[in-house]
Structure 1
Amino acid sequence: MRSRGLAATVLALLLALVGVVFAASAAAHSGLTSSVPAQDAQLTSGPAEVVLTFNEPLQEQFAVMTVVGPDGNYWHDGTAVVDGPRVRVALRPLGPVGAYTVNYRVTSADGHPVEGQRRFTLTVVGTGTPGTSASEDSGSGDGVPVWPFIIGAVVVIAAGVGAMFVLSRRRKS
C-alpha cells in the first residue's frame, strides 16, 4: 500500500517536471515584435519587401517567408534572408486589391521553430504579375511535427513507471 503511494507521488512529480520543462521551453522562443508593413496596414502601393523583427537574433538556417495574395498566388520574389533579429523577403510589384498574407517560419536562437502570419491590404490595383499558385504547394507540410513531443512524453512516462517499479521492488526486499 505504501509503495503505491510512493509510486503515485513519483509519477506526479515526473508529470509536473515535464510540464515545467515544456512551459520553460515555450517561454524561451523568439517572439515577433514588429513587421513592415504593419499588421493590418492599408496600403495604396506595394512595398519592395516585407521585414519581420523578433526579440532576439534568429538562426539563419531554415527561415521561410511567403507572401500570398488575394488571388491565391505567391507575390514574394526570392527566399527569406535573416539578419540578426530580422527576416526579410523581397516582393514582386503587387497586383490585385485585397488582403496579402505573410506566412513565416523561423528558427529561434534556442533552436525551436516559430511560425505565424501577418496581413496587410492593398487598396489600389497594382500592375504586378504573380508568381506560382500557392495551392500547388499546399501539401508541403509546413506545420510543426507533433511526433517528437509524443515520443518525448512516452519516454518520460516510461522512465517514471520504470522508476516506480524499481522502488517498489526495493521496498519489498
Structure 2
Amino acid sequence: MRSLKALAVAGAAAALVVGAAPIAQAHNVLVSSDPAKGASIAAAPAQVRLVFNEPVDNGPNEISVTGPDGSSRWDTGPTTVSGATVSVGLRNLGPAGVYTVNYHIVSEDGHPVSDAFAFTLTTAGTGTPTTPAAATPTVAAATTATTDGTVPVWVWIIAAAVLLISGLLVARRVSR
C-alpha cells in the first residue's frame, strides 16, 4: 500500500513538471521559394518569393540577394508581406554564377527567423547591382539575436524522467 502511495506521489510530481512545461511554439519554416533553393535558372525572375508555413508579421522583414562576388546587391525595392508570402523585386541579374538569398522575417508570434539559400544563374544577364552587400544584415548576426528566453523541451523531458525515476526508487525502497 505504501509503495502504491509513493508511486502515485511520484506520478503526480512528474505530471506537474511536464504540465508546467511551456507549450512548444512552432516558428515559421520556409516551405517553398521562387527561385527554388539550389535551382539552376537561365533567366532571372522579376522577384524572389518566399512562402512560409504560417503567416508572417508585418514587422521588420528583409530579403536581400547577393551576387557571385559576394558583395553586390541584386534586390530592389521594399520587401513585401502578404500572409505567409514574403517577396522582394529583383534587378536584371548580371554575371552567371551562384546568387545568395538572405532573409530575416518575424513570425506572427514575434520570433525572428533568419536563413539563407542559393540558386545558380547559368546564363549571364545584362543587369548591374545596386549597393554593396556590406549593408546587408548577415544571417549569422541575425540568428544569434533570436533567443526568446524559453527553456528547451528536452530540459523538461529530462527533468520529468529524473523525477519519475526518483519516485520509482523511493517507492521501491519504501516497499521493502
| TM-score where L is the length of structure 1 | 0.68
Residues in 2 aligned to 1:38 and 1:55: alpha-carbon distance in whole angstroms: 16
User: 2:79 matched to 1:80?
Assistant: yes
Paired residues, what number? 138
User: Per-residue deviation at 1:69?
Assistant: 0.8
SS at match of 2:61: strand
User: Do 1:113 and 1:144's aligned partners in 2 also have CA atoms closer than 8 Å?
Assistant: no
How big is each residue's C-alpha offset from its partner over 1:115-158, in whole Å with a ceiling of 9 and x where there is no partner? Answer: 11121100111100111111354689433426763xx77xxxxx
The residue that corresponds to 1:47 in the other structure is: 45
Segments ≥4 residues shifted beyond 6 Å: none
Instruction: Name the larger-Rg structure.
Output: 2
Unaligned runs of 5+ residues in structure 1 are: 1-9, 154-173
SS at match of 1:46: coil
Residues in 1 aligned to 2:50 and 2:61: alpha-carbon distance in whole angstroms: 12
SS at match of 2:89: strand
Amino acid at match of 2:93: L
SS at match of 2:110: coil
Query: 1 or 2 for the larger relative contact order (CA 8 Å, sep ≥6)?
Result: 2
User: Considering only aligned residues, what root-mean-square deviation do their CA atoms show, in Å?
Assistant: 2.7
User: Per-residue deviation at 1:31?
Assistant: 1.3
User: Do 1:76 and 1:90's aligned partners in 2 also have CA atoms closer than 8 Å?
Assistant: yes
Unaligned runs of 5+ residues in structure 2 are: 1-12, 152-176
The residue that corresponds to 1:35 in the other structure is: 33
SS at match of 2:59: strand
How big is each residue's C-alpha offset from its partner over 1:55-114, in whole Å with a ceiling of 9 and x where there is no partner? Answer: 111111111110011122110001210000000000000001111111111111211111
Residues in 2 aligned to 1:21 and 1:49: alpha-carbon distance in whole angstroms: 39
SS at match of 1:62: coil
How big is each residue's C-alpha offset from its partner over 1:11-66, in whole Å with a ceiling of 9 and x where there is no partner? Answer: xx87x789x438x13xx111111001111111111110000001111111111110
